[in-house]
């Protein structure tokens, strides 16, 4: 897929075909994630990739909106340091947002769907993933080939109109 196609085709995919994701494709998605920009290039992140079905099922219980993780082909957990102050926490979240979009666009480029999930139960996530006490699991990004329909550019996205969101020169 061309980048412009991938941008328009990406959507949250929450039902996945049983087809696994090839190792080289998962590695490409992880490489895209690693290359994401971050504040002062600090890269305050680690990524835990999960493909084991039982682990994915456990992971799907960390938040009531994470159910789709259970049937994903793979899920990437975004893990970051616990920030001491609000400014650091905001900056880390911005960086994680950039990493998330890298994952999603690299996946869409390969025809692979992706779906965010928040994490509510940090202790449960820690037990399942084994990350240290000074980190938290910020987000889960589930991956898999869409069970419903392939990724193709969305002609009319559910978004505010361009002229509503864009202010040219001044508000
Ligand atoms: C910060 C953030 C958190 C989200 N958390 C969840 C979640 O916990 N569960 C879920 O099913 N979707 C989650 N989503 C997906 C959004 O609902 C989705 O991106 C939005 O409705 C737009 O739909 P689209 O991604 O298909 O364009 C989250 C998205 C973002 C950006």
pLDDT tens for residues 54-99? 999 999 999 999 999 999 999 999 999 998 899 999 999 999 999 9
Separation of first and last alpha carbons in the chain: 35
1: pLDDT strictly greater than 80: no
Does the CB atom of residue 96 touch ligand 1 within 6 A? no
Query: Looking up tokens 């002062």, which residue turns up?
Result: 40
Instruction: Give the Cα separation of 149 and 106 in Å (integer).
Output: 18
Q: State the angle between helix axes of 23-34 and 86-109 in degrees (0 to 180), rounded to the nearest 10.
A: 140
Mean pLDDT (the chain) is: 97
| pLDDT value of position 86 | 94
| pLDDT value of position 83 | 83
Instruction: Give the Cα separation of 68 and 56 in Å (integer).
Output: 9
**pLDDT tens-digit map of 135-157:** 999 999 999 999 999 999 999 99
113: pLDDT strictly greater than 90: yes
49: pLDDT strictly greater than 90: yes
| pLDDT value of position 98 | 98
Instruction: Give the Cα separation of 171 and 103 in Å (integer).
Output: 32
Pocket residue to mutate for ligand 1, from 101, 102, 118, 154, most atoms within 8 A of Cβ: 118
16's tokens: 């996945």
């Amino acid at each position: 897929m061309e980048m412009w196609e991938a941008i328009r085709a990406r959507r949250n995919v929450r039902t996945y075909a049983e087809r696994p994701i090839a190792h080289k494709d998962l590695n490409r998605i992880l490489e895209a994630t690693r290359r994401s920009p971050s504040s002062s290039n600090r890269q305050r992140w680690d990524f835990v990739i999960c493909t084991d079905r039982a682990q994915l099922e456990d992971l799907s219980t960390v938040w009531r909106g994470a159910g789709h993780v259970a049937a994903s082909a793979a899920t990437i957990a975004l893990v970051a340091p616990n920030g001491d102050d609000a400014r650091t926490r905001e900056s880390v979240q911005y960086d994680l947002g950039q990493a998330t979009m890298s994952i999603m666009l690299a996946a869409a480029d390969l025809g692979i769907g992706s779906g965010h999930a928040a994490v509510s139960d940090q202790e449960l996530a820690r037990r399942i993933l084994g990350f240290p006490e000074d980190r938290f699991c910020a987000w889960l990004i589930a991956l898999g080939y869409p069970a419903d329909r392939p990724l193709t550019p969305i002609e009319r996205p559910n978004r505010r109109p361009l002229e509503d969101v864009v202010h040219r020169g001044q508000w």
